[in-house]
Amino acid sequence: MGKLLQNILSYGFGVAMLASSASAFADDTFDLLGQYETVEAMGSGWNLGNTLEANSNGTPSETVWGNPQASSALMKLIKNSGFNTIRIPVSYLSKIGSAPDYKIDAAWLSRVKEVVDMALAEDLYVITNIHGDGYHGVTGGWLLCDAQNQTEIKAKFKAVWQQIATTFKDYDEHLIFESMNEVFDGTYEWQNPGVPYPNAGYYQNINDYNQIFVETVRPISLNNAKRWLLIPGWNTDIDLTSEAKGFKIPEDKYVDRSTSGKRLMISVHYYAPWDLCGDDTDEGVTRWGDEAWRQNSSKCTTYGQGANSESTMSGQFDKLKSWFTSQGYPVVVGEYGTVDKTSYDAENSKYTAYWTKTLCENARRVGAVPVLWDNGHLSTAKGFATINRATNTVGRTYIVDAINEAFDQEIEIDTTAAKTKLELITSYIVNLSVDGAKENPIFKCQYSGWDEISKEISNTAKNVDVDLSPASKKDGFTNLGYLVYTNDSLYSVNINKITINGYEFTNPIVKKKLSAAQYNNALPNIWSGNDGEYLSDNGKAILSISANSISLMLKLDGESSSVEEVDSIAANIVPVDGGIAVLGAEGETVEVYSMLGTIVSKTVATDFVTSVKLHDGAYIVKVGNKTYRVIVR
């Protein structure tokens, strides 16, 4: 039976159809789209926020937080606005019965199913989860990783997912289950400096929840054995959803063996910088981006230039590629967005649209699905909404337009496998010399937005080691770069050597004139080079420098690209993930030929770093009038 006919019949039978175990969207055919096919099909997404997860004193109620009931008309609007995916957060809380069965209230589960069916009727991909049950601040919250009764919690979690997965057991690939939402112990690292964070035992409970989720859902039906399942880490925080911090991807031992590749996705959220994105009370922070900082930094985040930088955002998405999408795990940015601050600053719409577009472009670049958070509030007070649900019209059109603009572009997903591994930076020493400074410059390095190291250097310093190591051993590769402060209008700094975690980098180290007046005495960085390009390779590791961030990339044995000819090292041709980078060739023509003489790439180097994307193989690289043989593997 065709789906159009099925949809018509489902509305014709009304409640009687919903009450039955059969479904209008049960499907004998399950389209096994691969990783990147699925991401492309899901496109951009939208959250039905503050609706099915809304509650009053722990009792879920769809309209209690001020939004109307979800409707077919709303789903049609979402689809027609350009979204291909909808995330439907659901709280169960008091709708769950007592042990040992933990039976979900039938009417509530039926309503969840009804809303899911409305979305599927518009050919939307649907993500649904257990949402507010893991919040410490919600009455009746029970999915708490720091609670003592973990045996009871895990039994309840299993029982609830068993019922949800059974209800939707025959639905096709358009339905995706997400295990939970923003589960953590309710504390933040800055609240307890010096204490290991996250708590390892609590994180293990979150890993256990995810393992239970996968092992419960998979065996229930053949379609569930094929379905994409969405896995979050600690508070869906990008930096904390890493193996180094304690995150473990579940073992998927019951996945259907007819599938090729993995069938688990990774869930993260993005609201950075928070004083722009989520703090509606901060009237002064209304703009974002490199241009905004140059024009009027007083209207940008108070967390510093690095937090405002476009390279910081791209660096976060680079981590998602390195850790997950390049390893076969799609990523869903299940929530992102900005509150409406146009009442404070008429230009806010311009800059939040740019933030939104840039995020979506980064998501597309690394193979992730961005799902916009919408809580239904079209006002400055917590106003995350883009859709006016009372009138079923688009409210903040500039946000929807920005998303569609990002998805209308031709952006190729970078599918190259990772040949390097991001390393935690725990030791960071810079050897430098200062020339021409009238006063002592101060080098300042900021890690993860909290740690900050400052060192004053003599204005006559020569070959001095400056220790800028992170005090609490945080994720140094998220460091926002170091700044230089001085009252001088012009001076120079020569970086002789950088030693990170014992790895020494001496070539190429860049000399650059610094003009303090140009940046109001806050210089962005002393390095030259394009954002995200690799600048130094010592054979065992690669030092990556951007305008505001530094990363250490360890090479994986037998997998990294290589430059074979000795002469090419002299020419500063270095291997990078997905090709090569030619360094210090400004003004020269860079040509790449296959071994058969076919030209592959030709460009004039305009910056210190010229990147060339290449597939594995042997090439001839011509830089100016010199020629080198290069192997990429």
**Per-residue DSSP letter, 233:** -
**Per-residue DSSP letter, 391:** T
Q: Residue 403, Cα to own-chain centre: how many angstroms? A: 16
* Catalytic-role residue among 335, 423, 533, 588: 335
* Catalytic-role residue among 152, 182, 215, 565: 182
Range 243-248, long-range pairs (CB < 8 A, 24+ positions):
243/323, 244/424, 244/475, 245/198, 245/203, 245/475, 246/198, 246/200, 246/203, 246/204, 246/207, 247/203, 247/207, 248/207, 248/210
Beta-ladder partners of 573: 582
What are the tokens at 288?
Answer: 């974002």
Q: Length of the chain in residues, anyone?
A: 633
Report the distance separating Cα 588 and Cα 3, nearest Å.
59
For residue 460, count CB atoms less than 10 angstroms from its CB and return exposed for 0-12, middle for 13-18, buried for 19 or more.
exposed
What are the tokens at 354?
Answer: 């740019």
Is residue 335 among the annotated active site residues?
yes
What are the tokens at 504?
Answer: 């020494």
For residue 208, count CB atoms less than 10 angstroms from its CB and return exposed for 0-12, middle for 13-18, buried for 19 or more.
middle
Report the distance separating Cα 415 and Cα 484, nearest Å.
37
The DSSP-derived string for 298-358 is GGS-TT-HHHH-HHHHHHHHHHHHHHTGGGT--EEEEEE-----TTT-TTHHHHHHHHHHH
- List the one residue out of 88, 175, 185, 95 whose CA is nearest residue 140: 95
The DSSP-derived string for 475-541 is -GGG---EEEE-S-S-EEEEEEEEEETTEEE-TT--EEEE-TGGGTT-BS-S--S-TTEEEEE-SSE
348, 340 Cβ separation under 8 angstroms: yes
Residue written as token pair 């030092």: 543
The residues that are catalytic are 182, 335
